[in-house]
Homo-oligomer: A and B are copies of this chain.
Amino acid sequence: MTETRSLEPEEWEFWDTWMRAQRLLTRELERGLQRDCDISKAEFSLLVTLWQAGGREMRVGELSESLDWDKSRVSHQLTRMERRGFVKRTQYGADGRRAGVGLTAEGRRAARSAILVHGDNVRRHFLDPLTPEQTSVIRAWSKQTVARLEPHHNEAAADDAS
Protein backbone atom coordinates (compact mmCIF):
# COMPACT_ATOMS: atom_id res chain seq x y z
CA MET A 1 0.00 0.00 0.00
CA THR A 2 1.44 3.28 -1.07
CA GLU A 3 0.14 6.54 0.34
CA THR A 4 -3.59 6.98 0.23
CA ARG A 5 -3.55 10.39 -1.32
CA SER A 6 -6.42 12.03 -3.09
CA LEU A 7 -6.69 12.29 -6.84
CA GLU A 8 -4.53 14.74 -8.69
CA PRO A 9 -6.49 17.74 -9.99
CA GLU A 10 -6.11 16.44 -13.51
CA GLU A 11 -7.43 13.03 -12.57
CA TRP A 12 -10.27 14.54 -10.67
CA GLU A 13 -11.20 16.70 -13.62
CA PHE A 14 -11.12 13.72 -15.94
CA TRP A 15 -13.41 11.82 -13.65
CA ASP A 16 -15.74 14.77 -13.27
CA THR A 17 -15.92 15.34 -17.01
CA TRP A 18 -16.62 11.71 -17.65
CA MET A 19 -19.42 11.60 -15.09
CA ARG A 20 -20.86 14.78 -16.51
CA ALA A 21 -20.75 13.47 -20.07
CA GLN A 22 -22.51 10.31 -19.24
CA ARG A 23 -25.12 12.03 -17.15
CA LEU A 24 -25.82 14.57 -19.88
CA LEU A 25 -26.13 11.82 -22.44
CA THR A 26 -28.47 9.64 -20.45
CA ARG A 27 -30.51 12.63 -19.42
CA GLU A 28 -30.85 13.73 -23.01
CA LEU A 29 -31.94 10.29 -24.10
CA GLU A 30 -34.36 9.94 -21.24
CA ARG A 31 -35.92 13.26 -22.11
CA GLY A 32 -36.27 12.20 -25.71
CA LEU A 33 -38.01 9.04 -24.65
CA GLN A 34 -40.32 10.98 -22.38
CA ARG A 35 -41.03 13.64 -24.98
CA ASP A 36 -41.46 11.45 -28.03
CA CYS A 37 -42.92 8.28 -26.53
CA ASP A 38 -44.19 9.36 -23.13
CA ILE A 39 -42.33 6.60 -21.36
CA SER A 40 -39.42 6.58 -18.94
CA LYS A 41 -36.07 4.88 -19.30
CA ALA A 42 -37.12 2.27 -16.75
CA GLU A 43 -40.32 1.56 -18.64
CA PHE A 44 -38.37 1.33 -21.85
CA SER A 45 -35.95 -1.22 -20.45
CA LEU A 46 -38.73 -3.42 -19.22
CA LEU A 47 -40.71 -3.11 -22.43
CA VAL A 48 -37.69 -4.03 -24.53
CA THR A 49 -36.81 -7.01 -22.40
CA LEU A 50 -40.32 -8.39 -22.62
CA TRP A 51 -40.44 -7.55 -26.32
CA GLN A 52 -37.30 -9.54 -26.96
CA ALA A 53 -38.91 -12.55 -25.32
CA GLY A 54 -41.31 -12.71 -28.24
CA GLY A 55 -44.72 -13.65 -26.95
CA ARG A 56 -43.32 -15.73 -24.14
CA GLU A 57 -44.11 -14.70 -20.60
CA MET A 58 -41.24 -14.08 -18.24
CA ARG A 59 -40.89 -14.54 -14.52
CA VAL A 60 -39.91 -11.71 -12.23
CA GLY A 61 -36.65 -13.44 -11.41
CA GLU A 62 -35.82 -13.75 -15.08
CA LEU A 63 -36.44 -10.07 -15.64
CA SER A 64 -34.37 -9.24 -12.62
CA GLU A 65 -31.51 -11.38 -13.87
CA SER A 66 -31.65 -10.15 -17.41
CA LEU A 67 -31.81 -6.46 -16.52
CA ASP A 68 -29.52 -6.79 -13.53
CA TRP A 69 -32.15 -5.08 -11.42
CA ASP A 70 -33.07 -5.79 -7.86
CA LYS A 71 -36.16 -7.99 -7.73
CA SER A 72 -38.08 -5.45 -5.73
CA ARG A 73 -37.27 -2.87 -8.33
CA VAL A 74 -38.78 -5.07 -10.99
CA SER A 75 -41.82 -5.65 -8.87
CA HIS A 76 -42.39 -1.96 -8.18
CA GLN A 77 -41.89 -1.13 -11.82
CA LEU A 78 -44.33 -3.83 -12.88
CA THR A 79 -46.91 -2.43 -10.50
CA ARG A 80 -46.60 1.01 -12.04
CA MET A 81 -46.66 -0.34 -15.57
CA GLU A 82 -49.58 -2.59 -14.84
CA ARG A 83 -51.40 0.54 -13.71
CA ARG A 84 -50.55 2.16 -17.04
CA GLY A 85 -51.76 -0.90 -18.91
CA PHE A 86 -48.43 -1.89 -20.46
CA VAL A 87 -47.98 -5.27 -18.82
CA LYS A 88 -50.07 -7.88 -17.13
CA ARG A 89 -49.22 -10.43 -14.49
CA THR A 90 -50.75 -13.84 -14.93
CA GLN A 91 -50.84 -16.90 -12.75
CA TYR A 92 -48.30 -19.54 -13.49
CA GLY A 93 -49.70 -22.79 -12.13
CA ALA A 94 -53.25 -23.90 -11.48
CA ASP A 95 -53.38 -23.42 -7.72
CA GLY A 96 -52.12 -19.87 -7.22
CA ARG A 97 -48.52 -20.02 -8.30
CA ARG A 98 -45.74 -17.67 -9.28
CA ALA A 99 -46.70 -14.87 -11.59
CA GLY A 100 -45.68 -14.71 -15.22
CA VAL A 101 -45.34 -11.31 -16.85
CA GLY A 102 -46.36 -10.40 -20.38
CA LEU A 103 -46.97 -7.37 -22.55
CA THR A 104 -50.47 -6.16 -23.26
CA ALA A 105 -51.42 -5.03 -26.76
CA GLU A 106 -50.84 -1.50 -25.55
CA GLY A 107 -47.44 -2.51 -24.24
CA ARG A 108 -46.48 -4.09 -27.55
CA ARG A 109 -47.48 -0.95 -29.39
CA ALA A 110 -45.47 1.24 -27.04
CA ALA A 111 -42.46 -1.06 -27.28
CA ARG A 112 -42.46 -1.14 -31.06
CA SER A 113 -42.63 2.61 -31.42
CA ALA A 114 -40.20 3.34 -28.61
CA ILE A 115 -37.58 1.04 -30.05
CA LEU A 116 -37.61 2.95 -33.31
CA VAL A 117 -37.63 6.38 -31.79
CA HIS A 118 -35.07 5.59 -29.15
CA GLY A 119 -32.84 3.87 -31.66
CA ASP A 120 -32.77 7.06 -33.64
CA ASN A 121 -31.91 9.09 -30.59
CA VAL A 122 -29.14 6.73 -29.57
CA ARG A 123 -27.73 6.95 -33.03
CA ARG A 124 -27.88 10.71 -33.11
CA HIS A 125 -26.54 11.38 -29.64
CA PHE A 126 -24.17 8.51 -29.09
CA LEU A 127 -23.19 6.51 -32.14
CA ASP A 128 -22.92 9.15 -34.80
CA PRO A 129 -20.61 11.55 -32.95
CA LEU A 130 -18.11 8.75 -32.35
CA THR A 131 -15.08 8.38 -34.54
CA PRO A 132 -14.19 4.81 -35.54
CA GLU A 133 -11.30 4.85 -33.11
CA GLN A 134 -13.49 6.04 -30.28
CA THR A 135 -16.03 3.39 -31.12
CA SER A 136 -13.59 0.56 -30.89
CA VAL A 137 -11.87 1.84 -27.77
CA ILE A 138 -15.08 2.53 -25.92
CA ARG A 139 -16.54 -0.77 -26.99
CA ALA A 140 -13.52 -2.56 -25.60
CA TRP A 141 -13.60 -0.60 -22.38
CA SER A 142 -17.29 -1.33 -21.91
CA LYS A 143 -16.84 -5.03 -22.38
CA GLN A 144 -13.90 -5.18 -20.06
CA THR A 145 -15.72 -3.18 -17.40
CA VAL A 146 -18.81 -5.33 -17.56
CA ALA A 147 -16.68 -8.43 -17.36
CA ARG A 148 -14.90 -7.05 -14.32
CA LEU A 149 -17.93 -5.86 -12.40
CA GLU A 150 -20.81 -8.06 -13.48
CA PRO A 151 -21.68 -10.03 -10.35
CA HIS A 152 -22.65 -13.40 -11.81
CA HIS A 153 -19.72 -14.09 -14.04
CA ASN A 154 -19.11 -17.60 -12.86
CA GLU A 155 -18.51 -19.19 -16.23
CA ALA A 156 -15.60 -21.27 -15.03
CA ALA A 157 -14.07 -23.14 -17.92
CA ALA A 158 -12.76 -25.77 -15.58
CA ASP A 159 -14.84 -28.65 -14.31
CA ASP A 160 -17.53 -27.56 -11.95
CA ALA A 161 -18.56 -30.43 -9.75
CA SER A 162 -20.74 -28.65 -7.22
- Please measure, in the bound complex, the distance between the C-alpha atom of A28 and the C-alpha atom of B150, giving whole angstroms: 10
Within 8 Å by CB of A20, from B6, B140, B142, lies B142
B21 pairs with A141, CB closer than 8 A: yes
Evaluate contact between A146 and B115: CB separation under 8 angstroms. no
Q: Mark A116-148, 1 if CB is under 8 A from B, else 0.
A: 100110110111011001110111111111101
Q: What are some 6 contacts across the A-B interface (CB < 8 A)? A: A5-B116, A11-B123, A15-B126, A20-B150, A28-B149, A137-B137
Q: Specify which chain B residues have a CB less than 8 angstroms from the CB of A17 in the assembled complex.
A: 139, 142-143, 146
We find that the number of chain A residues with CB closer than 8 angstroms to chain B is: 47
Chain A contacts with B in 67-124, Cβ cutoff 8 A: 68, 115-116, 119-120, 122-123
> B25 to A149, Cβ gap below 8 A?
yes
Chain B residues near A140 (CB-CB < 8 A): 134
